[in-house]
Structure 1
Amino acid sequence: MKQQAFYQLAILGNAPESAVQEIENELSLRLSELGFTLHEEVSLFVGSPAEFNALGDRCTAVLCFPISDEFEMTMASLMNRGIPVIPVASYKENLPSEFPPLVSRLNGMAWKTDKATAITYALLECASLLPRNRRVFLSYRRSESTEAALQLYAALSARLYDVFLDTHDIHPGQHFQQVLWQRLCDSDVLLFLDTPNYFSSRWTDMEFTRAEWRGIPLLRAAWPGVIANPRVGLATTIGLSESDFFGNSHLSDEAVLNICNEVEDLRARSVAERYQRLLSTLKDSVAKGRGKIEGVTLRRSLIVATPNGTRIAVYPALGVPTSHTLHNATLDNHPSPVAVVYEEAGIDEQEWKAHMEWITHYVRGAVRLVSSHRCGWDFADWS
């Protein structure tokens, strides 16, 4: 049976055949850098909006070339589900004439002036398929599984993951606990090596507990003979047997491959789920102020319309926002200031806080950092 694709992309509407071919070529090239093959790990639908079946549990993103008004409700359905839609007009000034009103209001691109590389890059960014967005936290007992952890660190890094391993990623002089929890909050998946005494350690127990509380998906690599702790009920489990090891401590190449593939699958689903949770919190907060959300587009941005007529460009940020996150939010020519919205719980590293407070003081006129729980409050007086 063919495995379901990890990620789902689509080119909808009246796309020139030459444009489709150029975008497909660019996608194949960029995905190969991640070790993916187009139409295998990443699906691509090309055709009418009415025929596109968007899966709710996968990272999905859409390029929409010119369409008639009859497809407005179809596109509205995709947008209401939080699926990023990037309108691609012939020229940007033609957005109102080539798309229904609901779609033309989104931040779009132009096929005649934007290169296929830029359009492809925007699509991959919306689908969370850029290397800088791929993060895994590796949790393990040093006394029981260091060699296996190092193997997985190398294998996942080769797939262009940013892998957190405590022996590699905390520099001298840094506050160990603060950096640890900060990196955990910034991860897409917690991969924990469930050895006989994994839950006997205070640190690994806390890593598991806080990842679960933060809503980070859990992938359990279960050592032979280890009985599952009752707390791992929500984790995805890969059971390892004696044949998956050699030399008592090294994982076989096949076991490493299976774990890496499961990380990819879980990560693809988790990004979609976490984004929807953040979007839900944002919607609830905005709704309290009688505002509404108008759709998701470039860089997963969306427009919030407030009752007083103000339209605010909002960029939801999964994990820990940085100065790069703030800068990227200013690149789409929205009226200033734009907002970067994030889930603040657990993000407590003092060095990060001091840096973000310093930089947001100077860029407040262009971009602001806002908690998802209080954004409706802040948007009520946005100026």
Structure 2
Amino acid sequence: MDYKYQLILLGSEVEAKPKILSILFQKINDLGLPENILKIIEADKINSDYLGNQPAFGLYFGDVEGKHKHIDITDMLLKDGTMILPVYFGNPDGAFSKEIPNNLTNQNGIRFSENELDRIANIILESFELLRSTRKIFISYKRNESTSVAIQLYEALESYNYDVFLDTHTIGKAEPFQDELWHRMTDCDVIVLLNTPKFLESHWCKEEFAEAGTKKIGLVQLVWPHHDIKKIDSGSHLSYPLILKESDFVASIYDDKDKSKLVDIMVKEIIQKVESVRARNLASRQDNLITEFRNIAVECGRTVNVQPEKFLTENLPSGKRIIYIPTIGIPQSTSCQSAEIRHEIEINKDTSVRLIYDDLRIRDKWIKHLDWLNDNFKKDILTLKKQEFKSWLQTTK
């Protein structure tokens, strides 16, 4: 690959650096992307290795003694429009302003800890548009068993900039409840499922669990104390259980729907697990959509090629080229704005883009909206829903 995502490492030499790179490459593997998609540039190689016309993101590692390095490089990157994430290490009070140079003090930073590794790696991937920046979580629970914990997790995940769906807090007045629930589940990254003893006795909880399996959505299961996980584990596509103990609840109260609360350390562990599952879940759902589209294309006599960056291309006899981008959840315009896609369009001007997506359970009003956009706006960037894959491939040349 001659087109790379540049990660620039600035500031102090710290033990955190190899740990972040290790988890970052692990996530790149989880996404099914080639490792050489990422180019690591140390500060002393910036003049020889950095290319201003290719996507870049910077990490600035703070110095606990306040000895700031690479100020000139940081200024240059900021002028180029490069995002830089400050990472600091000392106690929260005053550590950021001491460890991070003045030209970065208006940036939001992260205080490093082992628990933040997944979050830092995901921020890097989001900045490169390799992982979508909308961070959508769906909480599935039984109201008469775990309402207080569901609300606690809703508030905790929102504080970490997740867009959280919780039925009692999220669905607006006069909205069709069940349609909106399925719609939001389809568009989520991960489901946090509160696996309480009578969860499956609820018709709708059982439906939500089955829907997660059908849509291949990853589950972070919180299994209540003294509950048998085998009762719910069989139908899940990607399931990551956390077996809770009585001591994981404040005052060991785990069976009161209004009073039960998780201890802070467990809440942080759950958020960390959600962060770690996002990339794997996205990759799995993309792979499923790619496989289905490619199989239909072969059946229709079309030749589509899967690129290492997980989009598909087709060269037509007319000389035109089509890029198919697998889109998870509801298609957004940002899905076709990744650097690699822009590069593909730049080198072949006679290129059109199709955002392919699974329309199952997406609300009719959104489907109609996307169809309207197809009919009325730019014809070289269109959406293509799963139920029309075959008819479109059979008739379009």
**Is the pair's TM-score, using the shorter chain for normalization, greater than 0.5?**
yes
Contact kept, 8 Å, 2:33 with 2:308, in 1: the verdict is no
SS, match of residue 275 in structure 2 = helix
Amino acid at match of 2:210: T
SS, match of residue 345 in structure 1 = coil
Matches within 5 A, 1:126-165: 128-132=130-134, 134-165=135-166
Q: Which residue of 1 aligns with 2:241?
A: 237
SS, match of residue 325 in structure 2 = strand
Query: Can you give the 5+ residue segments of structure 2 that lack an aligned partner in the other structure?
Result: 40-49, 55-76, 86-122, 254-259
Q: Which residue of 2 aligns with 1:340?
A: 355
TM-score (norm 1): 0.67
Shift of 1:282: 2.3
Shift of 1:259: 1.5
Shift in alpha-carbon separation, 1:323–1:266, aligned structure 2, 3 A: closer
Contact kept, 8 Å, 2:311 with 2:326, in 1: the verdict is yes
Between the aligned partners of 1:126 and 1:170, the Cα distance in structure 2 is: 31
Contact kept, 8 Å, 1:337 with 1:364, in 2: the verdict is no
Q: Which residue of 2 aligns with 1:178?
A: 179
Query: Can you give the 5+ residue segments of structure 1 that lack an aligned partner in the other structure?
Result: 1-11, 29-36, 46-51, 66-87, 93-111
Between the aligned partners of 2:284 and 2:207, the Cα distance in structure 1 is: 23
Q: Which residue of 1 aligns with 2:320?
A: 310
| 1:281 partnered with 2:292 | yes
Shift of 1:302: 3.9
Q: Which residue of 2 aligns with 1:40?
A: 19
Query: What per-residue deviation string (whole Å, max 9, x for no partner) do you get for residues 312-340 of structure 1?
Result: 02221111214665788996555354211
Q: Which residue of 2 aligns with 1:356?
A: 370
| Number of residue equivalences | 308
| 1:209 partnered with 2:202 | no
Contact kept, 8 Å, 2:304 with 2:312, in 1: the verdict is no
Shift in alpha-carbon separation, 1:146–1:38, aligned structure 2, 3 A: farther
Contact kept, 8 Å, 2:320 with 2:351, in 1: the verdict is no
Contact kept, 8 Å, 1:190 with 1:216, in 2: the verdict is yes
Percentage identity across aligned positions? 29
SS, match of residue 250 in structure 1 = coil
Q: Which residue of 1 aligns with 2:329?
A: 319
Between the aligned partners of 2:368 and 2:188, the Cα distance in structure 1 is: 21
Matches within 5 A, 1:1-383: 23-25=8-10, 39-40=18-19, 43=22, 56-58=29-31, 60=33, 62-63=36-37, 115=80, 117=82, 124=126, 128-132=130-134, 134-233=135-234, 234=236, 235-247=239-251, 248=253, 249-288=260-299, 289-293=301-305, 295-297=307-309, 301-306=311-316, 309-322=319-332, 325=335, 333=346, 335=350, 337-347=352-362, 349-363=363-377, 365-372=379-386, 374-375=388-389, 377-379=391-393, 381-382=395-396
Between the aligned partners of 2:389 and 2:317, the Cα distance in structure 1 is: 14
Shift in alpha-carbon separation, 1:355–1:13, aligned structure 2, 3 A: closer
Contact kept, 8 Å, 2:306 with 2:313, in 1: the verdict is yes
Contact kept, 8 Å, 1:285 with 1:377, in 2: the verdict is no
Shift of 1:368: 1.6
Between the aligned partners of 2:394 and 2:318, the Cα distance in structure 1 is: 8
Contact kept, 8 Å, 1:192 with 1:218, in 2: the verdict is yes
Shift in alpha-carbon separation, 1:131–1:294, aligned structure 2, 3 A: closer
Contact kept, 8 Å, 1:292 with 1:304, in 2: the verdict is yes
Shift in alpha-carbon separation, 1:360–1:326, aligned structure 2, 3 A: farther
Amino acid at match of 1:362: N
Amino acid at match of 2:371: E
Contact kept, 8 Å, 1:339 with 1:367, in 2: the verdict is yes
TM-score (norm 2): 0.65
Amino acid at match of 1:57: D
Amino acid at match of 1:341: I
Shift in alpha-carbon separation, 1:239–1:315, aligned structure 2, 3 A: same
SS, match of residue 200 in structure 2 = helix
- Alpha-carbon RMSD across the aligned residues, in angstroms, is 4.0
Between the aligned partners of 1:117 and 1:362, the Cα distance in structure 2 is: 35
More divergent stretch after superposition (279-288 vs 302-311): 302-311
Shift in alpha-carbon separation, 1:123–1:54, aligned structure 2, 3 A: closer
Query: What per-residue deviation string (whole Å, max 9, x for no partner) do you get for residues 243-297 of structure 1?
Result: 0111420100111112222222222211121112122122222323231216255
Query: What per-residue deviation string (whole Å, max 9, x for no partner) do you get for residues 339-362 of structure 1?
Result: 111122222x12212222222211
Query: What per-residue deviation string (whole Å, max 9, x for no partner) do you get for residues 128-152 of structure 1?
Result: 44531x2211001122211211221
Contact kept, 8 Å, 2:286 with 2:328, in 1: the verdict is yes
Higher relative contact order (CA 8 A, sep 6+): 1
Shift of 1:124: 3.6
Shift in alpha-carbon separation, 1:371–1:13, aligned structure 2, 3 A: closer
Shift of 1:24: 3.2
Query: What per-residue deviation string (whole Å, max 9, x for no partner) do you get for residues 9-49 of structure 1?
Result: xxx8799xxx96x73359x9xxxxxxxx764355388xxxx
